[in-house]
Structure formats: C-alpha cells, structure tokens
C-alpha cells in the first residue's frame, strides 16, 4: 500500500471513528432513557438526542465523506485494501447512498419524534390507551413511508425496511419461509392442544422474591460466560441489550414477583445478544462493523441461549437445585422433570415475550402481516387495534382484553423499528441450523449443557460467528458455518422432536 493511500485510509478511519463516538454517546443516552432517567427531563433529553443524531447524520452524508468513498472505491484502489477496510468502505457507502436522500432537518425531526414516542408508549401501555400513542405512531409511519419513497424500493415497499435489519431479505422470501413454517407447525400445535399430557404449571404462579430472582439471574449470566467487567444488568419495561463497544455491553430484564421464569428467560435471551457483542474482534472497534451482521443472526444467538440451552432438560438438571435453594417453600417439593415440562408448556397466549418456544413464531407472523399492510396502504394506524385483535383470534385463538396486552405490548414501533420483527423468527431458524453444525463438530448439545461446557461452546461461536462482527453478510455466515443457505426444516425438526417427547405425541 502506498504512503498516500495509507494516509488517506488513516484519515478516513479517523473520520468514521468520530462518527462512532457520537453513536456511542447516543446509545448511552438511549440506555439512560429506558432505565430510569427522570421523566420530567425526557423532553429536553429527546432534543439533545436529536441534536447529536443530526450532527452524526450530517457527517455520514457530508461532502467529505463523499470524497473519501469516491476515492477509496475507485477501481485499482479498492482492490488494494485489506478485507476489513474493503468491507468498511462498502458499509459506509451503502449508508451514505441511502442517507444522502434524506434531508437533515427531516432526519432530526424524526429522531426527536421517536425519542418522545417511546416515553409516550410506556404511559400508553401502562394505561392501555392506544389513543394516547396513536398520533405519534401515525407520524412515525408517515415518515417511514416518505423515507421509503426517497430511498427507493424494488417490489414491495416493505423490502427496503427489511433490508435494514436483514440484508438481502425480501417479502417474497419471507412469505415462503413463513408459509413453510406455519404449514408444519400449526398441525403440531393442534396435536399438542389435543394431548392429555398437559404439564402442571400451577406452581409457577406464586410469589417469588425479586431479590432472589436478581441473584439467580446474575448467577446464570456468570455461568453462561457473560462478562460483568464488560457489562451490567439493569431493569426496564421491556428487556433489551445495548452494545456500546465490546468492553461495554449492557442488558436489562423485567422482574415479575408472581413469575420466576419471565425475568430469567428474558435475562438469558439478552445474554445471547451480549455474548455476541462482547466477543467481536477488537480490530473492528471504532467502525460500523463492530456489531452483529444482522438482526436475524443476532436473534439466532439470543434464541439459541434462551431456548436450546436455557429451556433444555440438562440445563435444569444442572441448575434446578440452586433455584430450589432460593425458594425451598415454593419449589422444594417440585421435581425437576415437572419444572422442565412446565417451562416448556405450549399454550397460545397474548404476550410475545412470554410466549412458548413453539407458538412464538405465530406472534412474529402476526406482526409481519401487520407491518406489510401498514406499508402497502391496506391498513391505517387507527385500525390497528381491531386488526391486531382479529389476527390474534385467527392465528392463536386468543383475544386481548385491552390494548396494553394487545397492540401496545411491544416497544419497537415507537422507535420506528419496522422490518425488525421478522428477525426473531429468522433467528429461530438460524439457531436450529447452527445447532445442527455444533452437534456435528462438538458433540451432543445436551451433553455439553449437562457438563457445563459453556466456555467451549462460546469459543466455538466466537470463532465462527461472533468475532466477524459485520465483516460478512448473514448469507455468507450461515453458508460458511453450516454448508448451506438458511433452511427452516432444522427448526421444524427440532420443535417436533422436543415437543413430541414432552407431550407424548
């Protein structure tokens, strides 16, 4: 590499790092908003977030950025860059080409809107009052529709939003994937509902001291390999993970005094996200490549650790005695097998984050259908509650008694995260496919879990997935790791085997 190219590259990397620094400061502010910032300061904080976001946005579409990208993308120059810098240029150019089409003042207004909307959503959810949130959501949807027209799209408008979270994913591909899964899982759910082998769950709905729940959650996090020197566990209305950099990856959970499992599995889920972010290669720090390659791959890790590890029989044979020690009066006389079956009960329900592993995918399909309808113009925001309730009746046979347990239950739309929800089910599919490869290379996953070989398992994931950050696309990762493109049949086989055994099918 010539001295002039090396100097130019160093200048470009410095510019990108400055943008990333703005992003990290913003992430801390968002984390603070959701974990206990004073409510009276939220409006002013939203304005500050808007100002900083606007500055970062201006940098991403500046003439200076344009000159860097034009020069470094030139034939003959681009080929001389190493893998990391080529990928960095590609990622920045994709963002530049898209963001350049959005006027900076519109972007700032949108950031302020979504920052305010999240606080309003919290109140609306608590009061089950959709009308309170509706005007904010209408503005968010309208802004996204305007942005899509500016960005451009191929096929369905929703494709542009999908690509932001799962590069290369389209409505056409998702329709087929979801149809395949729905076609094979609905009969399984039906067979389970007709089974006489119904697990006893009554003992789960007791009073469980929150202080002991916190203690157990932190213990499990340590066992799984979460690095508390590079993160922390807090509380929020909706569990989430925030990766500032590999040395600071924070997670939250929500404790329910009457449910010992909700916070635990929420914690393990977010732990999966955090293990990914804490183990990205340090050479990617200060660049937009220092994050998960897509939300689908990210969710594959949260769902893998939550369900395939955390809800497995060997996991509880290993850790149930510890939980019994914390709650001897509640769980002391409950056998481990009874507990295992209870936490894997299949029961159509209202709340996505508390849904069982099997019907969870139907919750995602409902949101997918709703988002498609919002962006093809066939559904208005005002009609959302009725449409939501009808879909729950159709897909799951249940009907929300209020909007807090219905259309207002998720935080995502308040932040404008349309196109995000499908990544949850894609994550389930990826995780089952990765599991298949793990068992070929490391041995039976149940044996690994029973013996607490989580460090070995994590090392395998770090080497094959985590360390790459955003260096490779989701398709490149899944085909490199497993030898084939995404295949939903692995998820279907896993669910049939697990739940067939539990319900004696």
Quick one: tokens of 462? 């770090």
Q: Tell me which residue of 255, 330, 269 sits closest to 305, measured CA to CA.
A: 269
The bridge status of strand 248-253 relative to strand 233-235 is parallel
Contact indicator for 150, 101 with CB cutoff of 8 Å:
yes
Q: Confirm or deny that 273 is annotated as ligand binding.
A: yes
CA 383 to chain centre: 27
DSSP-based three-state secondary structure for 484:
coil
Q: Which residues are bridge partners to 242 per DSSP?
A: 250
Quick one: tokens of 503? 């319900």
Helix (H), strand (E) at residue 253 = strand 248-253
CA angle centred on 162, ends 236 and 19, rounded to 5°: 65
Quick one: tokens of 486? 């995404």
* Unique residue bearing structure tokens 């002391």: 332
- Residue 483: count of CB within 10 angstroms of its CB: 11
Our answer to whether residue 270 is catalytic in this structure is yes
| Whole-number Å distance between alpha carbons of 401 and 398 | 9
The CA-atom distances, in angstroms, between 446 and each of 163, 311, 315, 323 are 35, 11, 8, 20
CA 373 to chain centre: 22
Quick one: tokens of 409? 């239950």
Residue 190 burial by Cβ neighbours in a 10 Å radius (0-12, 13-18, 19+): exposed
| Whole-number Å distance between alpha carbons of 308 and 490 | 13
- Choosing from 118, 270, 306, 357, the catalytic residue is 270
Helix, strand, coil % over all residues of the chain, rounded to 5: 70, 5, 30
Quick one: tokens of 287? 């660049």
* Unique residue bearing structure tokens 């067939």: 500
Helix (H), strand (E) at residue 233 = strand 233-235
Contact indicator for 186, 358 with CB cutoff of 8 Å:
no
- Residue 188: count of CB within 10 angstroms of its CB: 19
Contact indicator for 472, 480 with CB cutoff of 8 Å:
yes
Q: Please give the DSSP secondary-structure letter assigned to residue 470.
A: T
Q: Confirm or deny that 212 is annotated as ligand binding.
A: no
350: Cβ contacts below 8 Å, ≥ 6 apart: 392, 398, 400, 405, 406, 409
Quick one: tokens of 416? 């404008």
Q: Confirm or deny that 299 is annotated as ligand binding.
A: yes
| Whole-number Å distance between alpha carbons of 220 and 25 | 29
Q: Tell me which residue of 298, 337, 291, 285 sits closest to 314, measured CA to CA.
A: 337
| Whole-number Å distance between alpha carbons of 143 and 149 | 10
Annotated binding site for Zn(2+): 269, 273, 299
Catalytic residues: 270
């Amino acid at each position: 590499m010539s001295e002039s190219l090396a100097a130019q590259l160093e200048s470009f990397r410095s510019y990108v790092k400055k943008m990333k620094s703005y992003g990290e400061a913003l992430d801390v502010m968002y984390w603070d908003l959701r974990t206990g910032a004073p409510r009276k300061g939220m409006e002013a904080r939203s304005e500050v977030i808007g100002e900083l976001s606007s500055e970062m946005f201006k940098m991403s579409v500046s003439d200076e950025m344009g000159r860097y990208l034009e020069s470094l993308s030139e034939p003959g120059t681009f080929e001389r860059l190493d893998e990391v810098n080529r990928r960095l240029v590609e990622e920045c150019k994709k963002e530049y080409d898209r963001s350049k089409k959005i006027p900076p003042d519109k972007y700032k207004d949108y950031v302020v809107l979504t920052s305010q909307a999240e606080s309003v959503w919290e109140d609306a959810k608590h009061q089950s009052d959709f009308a309170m949130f509706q005007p904010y959501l209408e503005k968010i949807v309208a802004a996204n529709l305007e942005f899509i027209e500016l960005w451009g799209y191929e096929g369905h408008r929703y494709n542009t939003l999908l690509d932001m979270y799962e590069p290369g994913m389209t409505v056409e591909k998702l329709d087929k994937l979801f149809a395949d899964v729905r076609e094979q899982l609905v009969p399984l759910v039906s067979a389970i509902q007709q089974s006489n082998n119904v697990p006893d769950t009554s003992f789960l709905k007791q009073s469980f001291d929150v202080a002991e729940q916190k203690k157990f959650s932190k213990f499990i996090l340590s066992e799984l390999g979460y690095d508390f020197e590079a993160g922390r566990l807090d509380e929020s209305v909706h569990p989430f993970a925030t990766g500032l950099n590999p040395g600071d990856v924070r997670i939250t959970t929500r404790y329910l005094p009457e449910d010992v499992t909700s916070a635990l599995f929420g914690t393990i889920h977010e732990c999966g996200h955090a293990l990914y972010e804490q183990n990205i290669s340090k050479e990617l720090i200060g660049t937009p490549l220092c994050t998960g390659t897509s939300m689908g791959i990210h969710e594959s890790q949260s769902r893998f650790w939550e369900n395939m590890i955390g809800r497995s029989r060997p996991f509880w044979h290993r850790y149930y005695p510890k939980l019994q020690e914390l709650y001897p009066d509640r769980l002391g006389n409950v056998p481990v097998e009874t507990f295992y079956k209870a936490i894997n009960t299949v029961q159509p329900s209202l709340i996505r984050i508390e849904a069982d592993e099997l019907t969870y995918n139907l919750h995602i399909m409902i949101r997918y259908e709703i988002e498609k309808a919002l962006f093809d113009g066939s559904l208005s925001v005002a009609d959302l509650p009725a449409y939501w309730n009808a879909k729950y009746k159709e897909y799951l046979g249940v009907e929300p008694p209020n909007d807090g347990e219905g259309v207002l239950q998720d935080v995502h739309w308040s932040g404008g995260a349309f196109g995000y929800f499908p990544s949850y089910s894609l994550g389930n599919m990826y995780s089952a496919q990765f599991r298949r490869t793990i068992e070929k290379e490391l041995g039976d996953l149940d044996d690994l879990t029973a013996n607490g070989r989580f460090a070995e398992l994590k090392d395998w994931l770090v080497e094959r997935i985590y360390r790459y950050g955003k260096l490779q696309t989701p398709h490149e990762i899944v085909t490199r790791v497993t030898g084939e493109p995404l295949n939903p049949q692995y998820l279907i086989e896993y669910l049939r085997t697990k739940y067939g055994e539990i319900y004696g099918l």
